[in-house]
Chains A and B, each alone.
Chain A
């Protein structure tokens, strides 16, 4: 059961119990008072009944004497019997104060009945004088009885004077009590209702305030309601909603960030594609021409030239493919070798290339055209400016679950700012003759592809060459920041 409902029920029950207790008490009290009144009235009525009974006997007696019929006699006997009954009742009325009078009264009734009996006897004997005398005697006694009834009533009033006054005062007091109780209950009820309504409206008010804050866009204020019950539940739910919304908002922010990054990578891709397209002057024509040239050179006995042309055609074909695809490391290495063949034809002995590849590592996926720009960079910086030429080491090996791709040269090294520039993916002023894709572009694509920042490392010292290390997780493209970076 909900708490507001319970509270209302409780309040109603208490009021009901209270009211019915008072009602029952007052009813019981009324009942008692009525009983008292009845007792008093009963006493008066019994006494009065006696007077009536004796007078009835006198009347019946008179009727009988005037007309001595059986019916009259029966009536007389009836009223005589009634006197006896009433006498028994009267005898119960005695108390300390009226005992004397009451005893007299009872005896007087006896005298009355005796006199009546004597009268009837004399009447039966036709003793006229005697029964007339007895009749007047009976009449006189009846008068005495009614007088004594009055005396008794008077005594009754005197005896119970205090009692009667008490009853009157009491009934007045009951009225007063009723008034006080009414006022008291009214007041209590008002207070209780006020308090009760407050317990409902107060949390609602707090909730309204909180809702206002939320509608203004402040999602960071916690909603606190100390009371228990439905409203508190509502507030809790509301608070949870607030927290959820807060969560959603931050999630949305995060997603927007990701979206932006994705957008950037797409732009980069488009850029490299565009560059690709620039050099794609009817690529098939160029490709076919290069093949024709190669065959021509071969037929003319210039085997070397023919091989070079095949390499150029291979690189060109490789470059013509979509840039945003992943290839295996093996393919990359192949392209790299073709590229280096061309460069070797260019630099002859000045370029020394040492390749050390662990064939087991060649199956890992890698974005296309990533190694070639790096080694191109090495050629440009380490071999081209140096008349004596330079040495380039290319190694692929496995180390601790990672495939390490190292490209090392012995050039003048890379300045620190430039390394930072590359790692922060800022565009770099390209020197010399690159195939078109810049180093920062490669870094970005690698990071996006593997989804982690430390996939590439550049180690360089002024005068002692540059070493670029790619660290690729063999298991997948997940990042493993906890693994220390070699170098």
Chain B
């Protein structure tokens, strides 16, 4: 390290140093700094020794035949090509993560949520996913992607709070110890956040079966603030907090930024449209509206939970229900030990489990769809089929349920006469959210008077 004592300290101008650095960086140039030079010399020396050895080997083995010579040169060639053709599987700060070379064009998917400046190519993602899969299955875990708003919590801007909600401001929990509270005021973000009842237990129990991710349409700052509230000890999510800034498509969520095999990912979200490409992985959640502004946003003009000073049930709420479903899926996935785990698909498990719910039902819809609408394409029809029911347009003795909004229609009257169940369309929706066949009596239909 003669360099340090040598030049720059005593030199009067910084240009000398800059020049020195430049030359040091350019290792190819001959008149480089003493240190570089020494290193270069060493390198050359080592290399020449190596070469010498190889030549020696070649020459001593020459008498045995020319094949060994060939193999030696082959090995050499192989090594050199290996060095030359780095596939650049990813980059960090525009440098290849394997060879450190500067990469000119940006390629692959950005993983900004893990670390700034990190990008990975598709091949590398595939490789990581399959490696991850083995690791995951060894620990008997699957991936779970969680949405924030309306799924795990409900947030509102402070300015949107109604006078009836003002009382909440005095009931907020302290941000010093967030591990127990459920209502928080984030002054610097001008927001109030209410956690869904049961969410703490949910996260704790789900974390034993699933590797969990947060994926929200909010921005990065919001996502991190919420992650901090939900997971103050950072034991559930780690760096797996994805916000809309990290997605690859606008107004869409995608599993391409999730480093997990799609066949092992479950999604909990309240918005089906955000996941157009991954509907098979999705478990749809009933929206959690606590604040008035949130109800209003989705067109409900009733009193909100906050105004009624009530809340979802802790033990029978949506999160408790879905936790049971998650446990069931986890069990089914890992339970039958007959075939290999790698080939299994959680989407299939999810589908099968869902089809159990209305297995023996045959449903006929009455005046639920607009007249010219293709019945098979209607959301309710599809939903019923996903739940395992058979849908039909014709009445016959095997029909078990008639779905209608009006008890006065022809089919409704037929149902009453034949002692079939006559239910409101909400019955199907509720069944879809709660994952069990609900008592039909609670969804009875009354006659709409025609004027």
* A and B bind: no
Which residues of B come within 8 Å of A, CB atoms? none
